[in-house]
Amino acid sequence: MNSFLENILQDLENKQIEITKVCYVVPSRRVGIFLSRCLAQRINQPIFLPKIYSVEEYVEYLAQVEIVNDLDLLPLFYKAYKNVENGENLDSFDEFIGWATTILKDFNEMDRYLVDPEQFFNYLGSIKEMDHWALSKNPTLMVSKYLRFWKKLHLYYNAFQELCLENKIVYQGMAYKLAFAKAEQSSFINDQEEKTIFLGLNALNTAESKIIQKLLEEEGDDSLCLRVFVTGGGCSGFQYGFTFDTEIAEDDTQVTQSGVNVLVDSLSYAYLDGASVDYQESLEGSKFVVNNPQASSTCGCGSSFTI
């Protein structure tokens, strides 16, 4: 049985798409290496490999910025913090790094899921205030300083964002946010020189999901269907695959639900009969989930199963 990557390349060739003339976006660099090998084996002659991006690299390319790890951003974050605070309330750098790494992780997740910063920080400040509610109208100095920190967090965020843009270096979440903003531009698709193929992305955060949705909207193809299939491999013997397709084969079963057309080939149908497909969004990301009554066990990854 062919691998998932081999099936994708075969499908592209069946649609008269030159597999060396497109841009690929895969979950990780490791998957990109396997894809490179599949391409080399399929072409069997010297070629220039097409562009293959991991999701993070593709986001970096769209946003036209450099993603820097949190540790290297700490000095810049401290500079932003000092621009907001005065001398009396200013923490030393040693005190600052005790809480800054956690706050940077929060900034990162907030931007990856396109959370409105003003609403988020207002809500967070109110929660912290309720956590330290007391009958006394005059809270202790420590409590006052603690609450003041949470109420000023949005100022740290805004100052840090400004410095990142000035220096053209960003953390991962900010790159996702900038890439989504660029995807919202009407000229976004016209700027792309090559067709972009997304493959193997079964778990997406909000920014990734909306960027891909924007690409599909700009494609403007009403015949686009979601194809669900089963291939050998994975952690438990079989794995689910998802791709978008415009061609309906003779042996395909087509199901339309809530305006979404789903295709299943005859071989996969035997393993998916009675199953339901759901698209879920959570704090862990966005992904397609298959509830399959035929599966005797399912791997923790959610995409691999045993009959």
Q: The sheet that has 196-198: what strands, in order across it?
A: 52-54, 23-26, 196-198
Q: Do 187 and 103 share a structural domain?
A: no
pLDDT at 82: 92
pLDDT at 135: 47
Q: Do 88 and 37 share a structural domain?
A: no
Q: Do 137 and 46 share a structural domain?
A: no
Q: Do 166 and 82 share a structural domain?
A: yes
Query: Residue holding tokens 């800054």?
Result: 100
What gap in Å lies between CA 110 and CA 51, rounded to an integer? Answer: 29
Residue 195: CA count within 13 A, CB half-sphere: 11
Q: Which secondary structure element, helix H or strand E, spans residue 26, and what is its range?
A: strand 23-26
Determine contact, residues 213/41, Cβ cutoff 8 Å.
no
Q: Do 159 and 76 share a structural domain?
A: yes
pLDDT at 77: 94
Distance of CA 14 to the CA centre of its chain: 29
Determine contact, residues 112/172, Cβ cutoff 8 Å.
yes
Q: CB-based burial of residue 48 (10 Å sphere; 0-12 exposed, 13-18 middle, 19+ buried)?
A: exposed
Determine contact, residues 184/210, Cβ cutoff 8 Å.
no
Q: From first to last of its 307 residues, what are the pLDDT tens digits of the chain?
A: 578 888 888 888 888 888 988 889 988 899 899 999 999 888 878 888 899 999 889 888 888 888 998 889 999 999 999 998 877 778 899 999 999 999 999 899 889 888 888 888 888 777 776 766 654 566 555 556 766 777 788 899 999 999 999 988 899 999 999 888 887 775 555 555 678 888 877 667 788 777 777 776 666 566 677 788 887 766 667 788 777 777 888 888 888 765 567 889 888 888 888 888 776 655 455 567 788 887 877 765 556 667 7
> What is the pairing mode between strands 66-67 and 169-170?
parallel
Q: Do 244 and 288 share a structural domain?
A: yes
Q: How far, CA to CA in Å, does 230 sit from each of 88, 225, 233, 242, 276?
A: 63, 16, 9, 9, 14
Q: Do 74 and 64 share a structural domain?
A: no
Residue type at position 272: L
**Residue 272 main-chain phi, psi, to 5 deg:** -110, 0
What gap in Å lies between CA 199 and CA 251, rounded to an integer? Answer: 23
Q: Do 164 and 303 share a structural domain?
A: no
Q: Do 185 and 38 share a structural domain?
A: yes
Q: Do 159 and 78 share a structural domain?
A: yes
Q: Do 126 and 95 share a structural domain?
A: yes
What gap in Å lies between CA 28 and CA 257, rounded to an integer? Answer: 32
To 10 degrees, what angle do helices 70-84 and 153-167 make? 120
Q: Which residue, among 201, 48, 27, has the nearest Cα to 36 in the 3D structure?
A: 48
Residues of the domain holding 234: 223-307
Residue 163: CA count within 13 A, CB half-sphere: 19
Q: How many domains does the chain have?
A: 3
pLDDT at 35: 92
Q: Do 196 and 125 share a structural domain?
A: no
Longest Cα–Cα distance of the chain, Å, equals: 79
**212: CATH:** 3.40.50.10930
**235: CATH:** 2.60.300.12
pLDDT at 117: 84
**Residue 190 main-chain phi, psi, to 5 deg:** -65, -25
Name the domain boundary from 170, 199, 232. Answer: 170
To 10 degrees, what angle do helices 93-112 and 153-167 make? 80
Q: Which residue, among 180, 261, 245, has the nearest Cα to 215 in the 3D structure?
A: 180
> Helix and strand tally (H, E) in the chain?
11, 14
